Amino acid sequence: MVGYNINNIKITNPILGGIIMSLIKDMSKDELLALKKELEKKFDAFKAENHQLNMSRGKPSPQQLDITEKKVNKLKNFVNYDEIDVRNYGGLSGLRSCRELLSDLTGVPADNIVMGGTSSLNLIYDAVAREFIFGSNGCKAWHKLDKVKFLCPVPGYDRHFAILEEFGIEMINIEMDENGPDMDTVEKLAAEDESIKGIMCVPLYANPNGVCYSDETSERLAKMKTAAKDFRLFWDNAYGIHHIYKETKLANIFELCKKYGTQDRLLYFFSFSKVTYPGSSISMVAGSDNTVKEIIRRMSIQTIGHDKVNQLRHVELFKNAEGVYSHMRELAEVLRPKFDIVLDTLEKELKDTGLLTWNKPNGGYFISADTIEGCAKETIRLTKEAGVIMTDAGATYPYKNDPKDTNIRIAPTYPSEEELQSAMNIFCVCVKLAGVNKLLGGKE
Amino acid sequence: MVGYNINNIKITNPILGGIIMSLIKDMSKDELLALKKELEKKFDAFKAENHQLNMSRGKPSPQQLDITEKKVNKLKNFVNYDEIDVRNYGGLSGLRSCRELLSDLTGVPADNIVMGGTSSLNLIYDAVAREFIFGSNGCKAWHKLDKVKFLCPVPGYDRHFAILEEFGIEMINIEMDENGPDMDTVEKLAAEDESIKGIMCVPLYANPNGVCYSDETSERLAKMKTAAKDFRLFWDNAYGIHHIYKETKLANIFELCKKYGTQDRLLYFFSFSKVTYPGSSISMVAGSDNTVKEIIRRMSIQTIGHDKVNQLRHVELFKNAEGVYSHMRELAEVLRPKFDIVLDTLEKELKDTGLLTWNKPNGGYFISADTIEGCAKETIRLTKEAGVIMTDAGATYPYKNDPKDTNIRIAPTYPSEEELQSAMNIFCVCVKLAGVNKLLGGKE
């Protein structure tokens, strides 16, 4: 089970929540001033070392990419299923063999999968754009409506929020616990407000807090009534096979939507961005028969088709789902020591200080941490001053506005283990320094 | 000079226009009836042979694709310019080395080029979508306007027209001669009507009539006044290096727009769809500094980036512009005999009949032909009945509406030479049969 505890929600997992009460938090002013002096010394020492570490984005490391590169061979036979020459035009929905591979990984039938280009984010953008420009399910195009709103579980993925903002869609924060978004609120809002047109979900190892949606959450998302006939469940399963410590199972949302007759609600996204090469891999969108028909109809005007040679390259590389799983286990071997560094350093430096709480995800790409209120921005400013670039504070919230200024996204994948250890040492000092300054402010 | 003669415009090239007056056209009813009987016999014989030939799209042949395949090697070094690891995220505008290669081919500075995915059509769609959703140059988004119109040189590319129709843009036919679109009309309409927001151009070896825009046409397009501040010159140079018989030079539209201070008007598209693998190659859009800034700003929300590994693959394959030209000369060797078959068969079977006129392009992918009025649809129906699928009649006009029902697009590239000869034999009989029936109808 994924631990989950951030300051701005009720702690539901007492095992992981025990680090709230703390030493530093209860210090007197004099003790704090002494500690401050000591921290500033450490901080200045770090600065003097001229660090230039960027851990702001969830980028794989060169070591991960090498694992893939060793396996990619020159393609020999371009004639795939049904005698299609994959090097030529045709086959808008993508290679059958590739869709079958993705079907085995996602549990969505191959006929309900449409291949995209190298970016599932682009498919998400296109899905929002289609609704904005044309509309769907016989409903008005969104550009003709006064107001369109989306439910946004927070903290979440900055690029999702950026797309919604770009289209002028109002974003409503939805708190999360260890089972996913607060479903009571989601159900209530979706049922009563027709202008709420969708919800943005990363259901497994959510970016950034690593939360995995429980079966009940998935079922309620499939089952719930929505006032909008064109409500869309954006299911961005970006980390669906990215287990690191332990495999977490996700309910089959496609089957659940079918069971409750809400299949036209679902837009299922998946990609190999963090399986092979980010920005040069394959992506897919899936949905009901109606949805796929509509996507293909619009895509036939939009593009000549996506890269079937690259799709074939991926099929040849992995052969089948087990080939992908085995590759992911190799990648996990590279990632695990890095997650260990982050978690061990946080534990060592910040446990029982009351200045930081964090999750311990079983997979995915991030560790999410929360400072005491009003300290995230200052912490990130300090790490930057000491030469470590982290994801901007606030980025994990719509409009870059973290209402309590607590959430920080730690992205351990890209740096080498050595760099990561340095970065985490610096980060922990900055958390303490920002926290101590804050506490001192409260005592003036 | 490119020959150009279709029925619905004034013939300006008498050397190629001499096939208008004819034997069959002047036949008596009895002569026509006898000929009809004979043609029907031939037609039925073709039908009995059970042909299944599809020459409806401009697809390269497997032979062309093999030429590329032999040259593609496994990549060895992924570290490109500025130590970028091309396998990873980053570099939204695309690989510098790839943009420099395309700069050498197009005459647009590398800094003014943004790489797209595998389809330049998708970049054209995105450009229209950006104007529709957001607007540009401080002008209203097109979805907020009552009416948006585009100038469409005809005959033209069906997929361009499909995009404009998808966005509800009204298309205005612009006649062409051997120098490109009728510029007097273009200038007049663009200057007086603010709702005219653009023109769709394929300036070299235009699809389907092979017309190459003269330097004067290019200059007038760059120089002309437009009532709309956000008028866009769509410059889809899809066949910019696709010479077959003779190299035709195109004016540098980027420089011309700069010269006349209209650089923000230009959207320049180019791709390797018919250089390497259609649907799996590289594409670009270029424009002024302002335009590129705007594209990158929107793209940073839209996508995680396009396939840099594939961009590198293309750079490694060709090394430089001369590498591309030499590759194109190899491809032309495959294409020339096919264009010869079409032109020779038309010459042999239809010269001096008055039933068909056609162009003789120096490059590109198509031969455009015109029947006598009201015969294109029937000709295509007959070829289909005899087992040869050609591009639908009307497809080369906005709304699939060829007002005189004369234009037929012949796509010689995909079939083998043997198949193409069969197809052309069948086509010529169908042109004659449809023509004879039409003439008989006129005599009843």
CATH number for the domain harbouring residue A241 = 3.40.640.10
Same domain, A158 and A29: no
Tokens of B310: 């594939």
Tell me whether A12 touches chain B (CB under 8 Å): no
Same domain, B125 and B181: yes
- What is the pLDDT tens value at each position of chain B, 444 positions in all? 333 333 333 333 333 333 333 477 788 888 889 888 988 898 888 888 887 777 777 677 777 777 776 777 777 788 887 778 888 888 999 999 999 999 999 999 999 999 999 999 999 999 999 999 999 988 999 999 999 999 999 999 999 999 999 999 999 999 999 999 999 999 999 999 999 999 999 999 999 999 999 999 999 999 999 999 999 999 999 999 999 999 999 999 999 999 999 999 999 999 999 999 999 999 999 999 999 999 999 999 999 889 999 999 999 999 999 999 999 999 999 999 999 999 999 999 999 899 999 999 999 999 999 999 999 999 999 999 999 999 999 999 999 999 999 999 999 998 889 999 999 999 999 999 999 999 988 776
Residues of A in contact with B279 (CB under 8 A): 88-90, 304-308
Tell me whether B274 touches chain A (CB under 8 Å): no
Question: Does residue A71 lie in a domain region?
Answer: no
pLDDT classification of A85: cutoffs 50, 70, 90 = confident
Q: What percent of chain A is modeled with pLDDT above 70?
A: 93
- Bridge partners, residue B172, by sequence: B151
Question: Does residue B7 lie in a domain region?
Answer: no
The amino acid that residue A121 corresponds to is L
Contact B371, B124 (CB under 8 A): no
Asked whether the predicted pLDDT for residue A15 surpasses 60, the reply is no
Same domain, B174 and B133: yes
Question: Does residue A5 lie in a domain region?
Answer: no
Task: Count Cα neighbours of A121 within 13 Å in the Cβ-side half-sphere.
Answer: 22
Number of domains in chain A: 2
Mean pLDDT (chain A, rounded): 90
Residue B120 Cα, gap to closest chain A Cα (Å): 8
Asked whether the predicted pLDDT for residue A443 surpasses 80, the reply is no
Question: Does residue B311 lie in a domain region?
Answer: yes
Residue B122 Cα, gap to closest chain A Cα (Å): 5
Tokens of B119: 């389809």
Tell me whether B309 touches chain A (CB under 8 Å): yes
Same domain, A262 and A332: no
Best mutation target among B64, B304, B414 (most A Cβ atoms within 10 Å) is B304
Question: Does residue A6 lie in a domain region?
Answer: no
Kindly state the average pLDDT of the residues A38-61.
80
- Give pLDDT, residue B404: 97
Residue A383 in 3-state DSSP? Answer: helix
Degrees to nearest 5, angle at CA B117 with B115 and B119: 110
Interchain CB contacts (distance < 8 Å): A and B: 148
Displacement of CA A184 from its chain's centroid (Å): 23
Best mutation target among A56, A119, A303 (most B Cβ atoms within 10 Å) is A303
Same domain, B404 and B267: no
Residues of B in contact with A301 (CB under 8 A): 125, 159, 162-163, 166
Same domain, B58 and B179: no
E strands of A292-397, at which residues? 356-358, 367-371, 388-390
User: Distance of CA B267 to CAs A417, B95, B126, B284, Å?
Assistant: 45, 20, 11, 10
- Bridge partners, residue B268, by sequence: B235, B286
Which range of A49-63, A375-389, B82-96 scores highest in mean pLDDT? It is: A375-389
Tell me whether B131 touches chain A (CB under 8 Å): no
Asked whether the predicted pLDDT for residue A205 surpasses 50, the reply is yes
CATH for A359: 3.90.1150.10
Best mutation target among B133, B303, B317 (most A Cβ atoms within 10 Å) is B303
Contact check, Cβ <8 Å, A279/B306: yes
R_g of chain A, CA atoms, integer Å: 23
- Give pLDDT, residue A74: 78
Q: In the listed set A319, A340, A374, which residue is the last one of a domain according to the structure? A: A319
- Determine the Cα–Cα distance for residues A228 and B271; give it in Å rounded to an integer: 41
Nearest to A307 among B59, B69, B307 (CB): B307
Residues of B in contact with A305 (CB under 8 A): 118-119, 279
Contact check, Cβ <8 Å, A117/B117: yes
ipTM metric: 0.90
Tell me whether A318 touches chain B (CB under 8 Å): no
Tell me whether A77 touches chain B (CB under 8 Å): no
Tokens of A113: 């999968």
Read off the pLDDT of residues A212-228 as tens digits, 9 standing for 90 and up: 999 999 999 999 999 99
Q: In the listed set A289, A319, A349, which residue is the last one of a domain according to the structure? A: A319
Contact A199, A32 (CB under 8 A): no
Contact check, Cβ <8 Å, A307/B280: yes
Contact check, Cβ <8 Å, A301/B122: no
Nearest to B133 among A74, A89, A132 (CB): A132
Question: Does residue B4 lie in a domain region?
Answer: no
- Give pLDDT, residue B264: 97
Same domain, B54 and B143: no
pLDDT classification of A25: cutoffs 50, 70, 90 = confident
Same domain, B259 and B387: no
Tokens of A170: 């109002």
- Give pLDDT, residue A1: 30
Question: Does residue A8 lie in a domain region?
Answer: no
- Determine the Cα–Cα distance for residues A278 and B210; give it in Å rounded to an integer: 40
- Determine the Cα–Cα distance for residues B208 and B55; give it in Å rounded to an integer: 14
Three-class HEC string of B217-270: HHHHHHHCCCCCCCCEEEEECCCCCCECCCCCCCCCHHHHHHHCCCHHHEEEEE
Contact check, Cβ <8 Å, A301/B125: yes
Question: Does residue A125 lie in a domain region?
Answer: yes
Tell me whether B305 touches chain A (CB under 8 Å): yes
Same domain, A338 and A238: no
Residues of A in contact with B89 (CB under 8 A): 57, 59, 278-279
pLDDT classification of A444: cutoffs 50, 70, 90 = low
Tokens of A162: 């950026």
- Determine the Cα–Cα distance for residues A390 and A405; give it in Å rounded to an integer: 15
- Determine the Cα–Cα distance for residues A128 and A120; give it in Å rounded to an integer: 13
Q: In the listed set A259, A294, A319, which residue is the last one of a domain according to the structure? A: A319
- Give pLDDT, residue B80: 80
Same domain, B245 and B135: yes
Tell me whether A21 touches chain B (CB under 8 Å): no
Range of the domain at B363: 14-65+332-443
Same domain, B201 and B82: yes
Asked whether the predicted pLDDT for residue A18 surpasses 50, the reply is no
Contacts for A230 with CB less than 8 Å, ≥ 6 apart? A131, A135, A136, A137, A139, A197
Residue B187 in 3-state DSSP? Answer: helix
Nearest to A277 among B87, B302, B306 (CB): B87
Contact A24, A354 (CB under 8 A): yes
Asked whether the predicted pLDDT for residue A274 surpasses 80, the reply is yes
Alpha-helical segments (H) within A200-320: 215-223, 253-259, 289-302, 308-318
- Determine the Cα–Cα distance for residues B217 and B212; give it in Å rounded to an integer: 10
- Give pLDDT, residue A8: 32
- Give pLDDT, residue A276: 92
Contact check, Cβ <8 Å, B280/A89: no
Same domain, B134 and B161: yes
- Give pLDDT, residue B81: 78
